[in-house]
Amino acid sequence: MKSLQKHISIIAVLLCILFTACNKEDLQAEKAMQIIINGYNGNNNALQVSIDTTSFGPSVAGGKYIVNPSSLVSFNTVYTYPVNRPQAVLTLTDMETKAVVFSKPLPATGTKANFNFIYIDGKELAINPPATDPATNKLGFYLRYTGSDAAFDIFLYRQDAATGKEYRAYLAKNVNPNTWIYPDYVPSADFDDKNELRSANIHFTLAGTTDQWAFNDNENDSKISAFGMGFPLTGEKGLVQSYFLAHSSSQLERSCLFFQADRPW
């Protein structure tokens, strides 16, 4: 009888240790999530990214996560946190005024979180892409430009290196700056594979022309490579992709307001 009681006691102790270990593992279990922020900071002040109590300030990685004034937002990091912690919140804070200009919780599930944030004229710019259409693709463009209100055309352009032949495919015509457009787009045979898109540029010319540059009457200000924008390929339909474009000091730059790791072209 004493031997049986001893064995029961040992089993109870082992179960207690096992239960405690499991609880400890639960407490220590962590979740990793890739956090991506795309967009534009048109504010006069820099912005700082924070996720709950973790701040990506000037002392982190030499300040590379700070979003400078009048610049694109391109934030990408992996954030690890305990699984039993309340839902984490991502914020963007004005580093001068300390005002929070953007705040959203991380998704409760999944391993990726993609946020879009465009800050212009002291407020967040609404991004309202249309619903998917299985018969076509919807490519959205917003071009930030204050030098003129003149309408412009947008087209894909490439020149065959061997023959010199020029190819164009219009994306939109008579577009006004500082407004969203979402034209339908199905790739033509001249721009429907990765190699063609890698060698193509997107041109912005004054409406009705192909050689009068739309912005500052300057080529570098009025064209951008199509490489890396993930344009639809042959047979693809039902995509909705938004792009924000703005000028840096010397060229036109863009932010893709979507995240598709499998579309690097």
Total residue length of the chain: 265
Question: Quick check: 9 pLDDT over 90?
Answer: no
Look at residue 29 in the predicted model and tell me its pLDDT. Answer: 85
Per residue in 32-46, pLDDT (tens digit) is: 999 999 999 999 999
Among 12-26, 43-57, 79-93, which stretch is predicted with the lowest mean pLDDT?
A: 12-26
Q: Find the mean pLDDT for residues 198-213.
A: 97
pLDDT in tens, 20-32: 444 444 446 888 9
Is 30-124 assigned to CATH 2.20.25?
Answer: no
pLDDT (tens digit, 9 = 90+) per residue, 93-145? 999 999 999 999 999 899 999 999 999 999 999 999 999 999 999 999 999 99
pLDDT at 261 over 80: no
The pLDDT tens digits for 135-179 are 999 999 999 999 999 999 999 999 999 999 999 999 999 999 999
d(CA 177, CA 20): 62
Please give the residue that has the higher pLDDT: either 41 or 8: 41
Given this model, what pLDDT does residue 28 score? 63
Among candidate residues 57, 51, 55, the one with its CA nearest the CA of residue 89:
51
Enumerate residues 6+ apart whose C-beta is below 8 A from 99.
93
Q: Which two tokens stand for residue 82?
A: 């305990």
51-63 mean pLDDT: 95
- Among residues 220, 185, 224, 217, the alpha carbon closest in space to that of 201 is found at 224
Name the more confident of 11 and 165: 165
Q: Which of 165, 164, 125 is nearest to 142 (CA)?
A: 125
Residue 181: per-residue pLDDT = 98
pTM here is 0.87
pLDDT computed for residue 248 by the predictor: 80
For the chain, what are the domain ranges? Answer: 30-124, 137-256
119 or 14: which leads in pLDDT: 119
| Cα–Cα nearest to 97, from 122, 79, 74 | 122
Question: Does residue 250 register a pLDDT over 60?
Answer: yes
